[in-house]
Amino acid sequence: MTGEDTSKDAAAVSEKMDLKIQSDGKEKDEPQDGAARKGPKSIKKEEKFILKTPKGTRDQGPMQMALREHVFAIVKECFTRHGAEQIDTPVFELKQTLTGKYGEDSKLIYDLADQGGEILSLRYDLTVPFARYLAMNKIANIKRFHIGKVYRRDNPAMTRGRYREFYQCDFDIAGQYDPMLPDMECIQIACEIIKKLDIGEFVIKVNHREILNGMFNKCGVPNEKFKEICSALDKLDKSPWEEVKKEMCEVKGLAEETADKIEKFVKFNGGVELVDKFLGEDLGKNPNAKKGLEDLKLLFEYAEIYGIAQYLSFDLSLARGLDYYTGVIYEAILRQNPASPQDEGESVGSIAAGGRYDGLVGVFDAKNKSTPCVGISIGVERIFTILENRQPNDAHSGLPIRSVATEVYVCSAQKGLAKERMKICAELWANGFKVEQSFKLNPKLLVQLQYCEDKRIPFAIIIGESEIEQGIVKLKTVVTREEVEVNRKDLVATLRQKVARS
């Protein structure tokens, strides 16, 4: 990225101030023991100051922000093209609002200190606050999106886009509707966004909690263990089956032969023909599995109409960790990481995921009134990571190549012309142009023009005393270095044409 964004490599240490700049990547939670280090003889002698962002977080510099804005614009355009309304909720919630919603992952929730008053936690996702919002405002129907930061005290893996503070972009549909119509829309949106981002081939794994329940039942998993076995199965995308089986049997007390039966199922993945196969077999006779399989059959039918069936893969190993899902679940996976060819063939993890959660709003409702919901969350951090890695290598990627939008830079070629520059700037700003100038009274012309090149500003206006006398300015096209003289009173009109053409 730009030369400014060097936080990760900054490791300068000053003995004098006893000040450390620690790389984000180093993942040291505690200040190191400073006994061997001596500060100057002052009252601050023993004070250590560490210049860093908190573990698992990072600043976003100008070029990174330009890239983020590019991705957010694509995501938002798609959400609004599908008629979504936007909402926002506070970054923290009452702790009890989050309690009991995330299963094993609840330990990753950030709590606020008790400073007298309410007990609060940072939000862990945007789904639970959405359900709280629906129940609190008694909203039965809404199609909303929400872009915001969420917080997880997870072990960060920053090079792979896993942070403790990260953005989610969620689209959800709440309301009592007919099967698979809203579910299909969520998957359609995921497809549209991933295609538009142009980050490579992808597949959308789909499964259904009811199929998993039917499968667990068939395999002999006791009812009360469904959720924890589901949560163990969810790790299959990161760990080999042997490890998952070990967790199922040794940690969660499942019989080995039960785990072996599960293994036979989770090997399967395919298209609608696999749904049909299971519908015709023993699994299809289990009422839960039957319901789930019929949902998926319909989903494939609708996907055919939308022309996206080829992206769907019914995958019995897909489990999704969160407790609250009740129906269709899905996860979009990049087939390979275009930024790292060495990863070829290996999946780089989920870039969008979601599913149906019909019970969550009811938990917050005074009368347990349920509001069926289904949603998709776009994993923008991983997308940023992919695009950041690719950006420098691909000038024709359509990605932003500059961090300012400035169209014109107003330069002076001689001393004492700052006020003349200001007059031009004022006129151009008032006419809607994006304009900058130096904040020095008498900057060198070369320094001013260098700034234009560095920031890729397309046009420079240059004034000297003779131009002022003649009532003209020089208008320079920075890239070509072509210069024309423009009458001062024609400047706005001339620039308008030039900027429109550039």
Residue 179: name the closest of 313, 328, 307, 310 by CA.
Answer: 328
Question: Residues 36-75: x/- map of binding to a second copy (CB under 8 A)?
Answer: -------------xxxxxxx-xxxxxx--xx-xx------
Give whichever of 143 and 227 is closer to a second copy, judged by the CB atom: 143
Q: How far apart are CA 472 and CA 490, in angstroms?
A: 9
Residue from 75, 126, 135, 329 binding a second copy (CB under 8 A): 135
Say whether residue 439 binds a second copy (CB under 8 A): yes
Q: How many residues bind a second copy (CB under 8 A)?
A: 107
Q: Which token pair is 129?
A: 């606050």
Residue from 39, 71, 74, 93 binding a second copy (CB under 8 A): 93
Question: Residues 300-339: x/- map of binding to a second copy (CB under 8 A)?
Answer: --x--xxx--------------------------------
**If 0-12 CB within 10 Å is exposed, 13-18 middle and 19+ buried, where does residue 457 land?**
buried
Sequence-separated (6 or more) residues with CB below 8 Å from residue 91: 122, 123, 148, 149, 151
Q: Which amino acid is at 363?
A: V
Give whichever of 238 and 367 is closer to a second copy, judged by the CB atom: 367
Spatial contact of 288 and 213, defined as CB atoms under 8 Å apart: yes
Say whether residue 450 binds a second copy (CB under 8 A): no
Residue 381: name the closest of 28, 72, 26, 1 by CA.
Answer: 72
Say whether residue 120 binds a second copy (CB under 8 A): yes
Say whether residue 502 binds a second copy (CB under 8 A): no
209-219 helix and 226-233 helix, angle to the nearest 10 degrees: 110
Give whichever of 123 and 320 is closer to a second copy, judged by the CB atom: 123
Give whichever of 53 and 397 is closer to a second copy, judged by the CB atom: 53
Q: Is 394 annotated as a binding residue?
A: no
Say whether residue 297 binds a second copy (CB under 8 A): no
Give whichever of 144 and 320 is closer to a second copy, judged by the CB atom: 144
Q: Is 68 annotated as a binding residue?
A: no
Q: How far is the CB of 284 from a second copy (least distance, A)?
A: 24
Cβ-count burial 459-472 (b if 16+ within 10 Å, e if not): bbbbbbeebbeeeb
Residue from 42, 137, 342, 393 binding a second copy (CB under 8 A): 137
Say how many residues make up the chain.
502
Say whether residue 456 binds a second copy (CB under 8 A): no
Q: How far apart are CA 462 and CA 485, in angstroms?
A: 10
Say whether residue 17 binds a second copy (CB under 8 A): yes
Q: Is 167 annotated as a binding residue?
A: no
Residue 374: name the closest of 363, 358, 362 by CA.
Answer: 358
Stretch that binds a second copy, among 173-181, 277-285, 322-330, 459-467 (CB under 8 A): 173-181
Stretch that binds a second copy, among 239-247, 259-267, 379-387, 399-407 (CB under 8 A): 399-407
Element (H, E) at 95: helix 95-98
Q: How far is the CB of 308 from a second copy (least distance, A)?
A: 9
Q: How far is the CB of 411 from a second copy (least distance, A)?
A: 14
Say whether residue 429 binds a second copy (CB under 8 A): yes
Map the footprint of a second copy across residues 179-218, applying CB under 8 A. Answer: 181-182, 185, 188, 192
Distance of CA 110 to the CA centre of its chain: 19
Q: How far is the CB of 31 from a second copy (least distance, A)?
A: 9
Q: Which token pair is 428?
A: 């151009």
Say whether residue 114 binds a second copy (CB under 8 A): yes
Say whether residue 110 binds a second copy (CB under 8 A): yes
What is the bridge-based pairing of β-strands 435-437 and 408-412?
A: parallel
Q: Is 89 annotated as a binding residue?
A: no
Say whether residue 92 binds a second copy (CB under 8 A): yes
Q: How far apart are CA 82 and CA 101, in angstroms?
A: 29
Give whichever of 24 and 323 is closer to a second copy, judged by the CB atom: 24
Give whichever of 135 and 215 is closer to a second copy, judged by the CB atom: 135
Q: How far apart are CA 228 and CA 103, in angstroms?
A: 8
Residue from 1, 25, 70, 82 binding a second copy (CB under 8 A): 82
Q: How far apart are CA 431 and CA 63, in angstroms?
A: 27
Q: How far apart are CA 183 and CA 204, in angstroms?
A: 13
Q: Is 115 annotated as a binding residue?
A: no
Residue from 11, 14, 310, 490 binding a second copy (CB under 8 A): 14
Stretch that binds a second copy, among 140-148, 215-223, 255-263, 478-486 (CB under 8 A): 140-148
The region that residue 420 occupies, defined by phi over 0 for left and psi between -120 and 50 for alpha, beta otherwise, is alpha
Sequence-separated (6 or more) residues with CB below 8 Å from residue 298: 179, 180
| φ, ψ dihedrals at 171, nearest 5° | -125, 125
Element (H, E) at 141: none
Q: How far is the CB of 52 from a second copy (least distance, A)?
A: 7
Sequence-separated (6 or more) residues with CB below 8 Å from residue 342: none
Residue 354: strand, helix, or coil:
strand
Binding-site entries for L-histidine = 125-127, 152, 168, 172, 320, 324-325
Binding-site entries = 125-127, 152, 168, 172, 320, 324-325
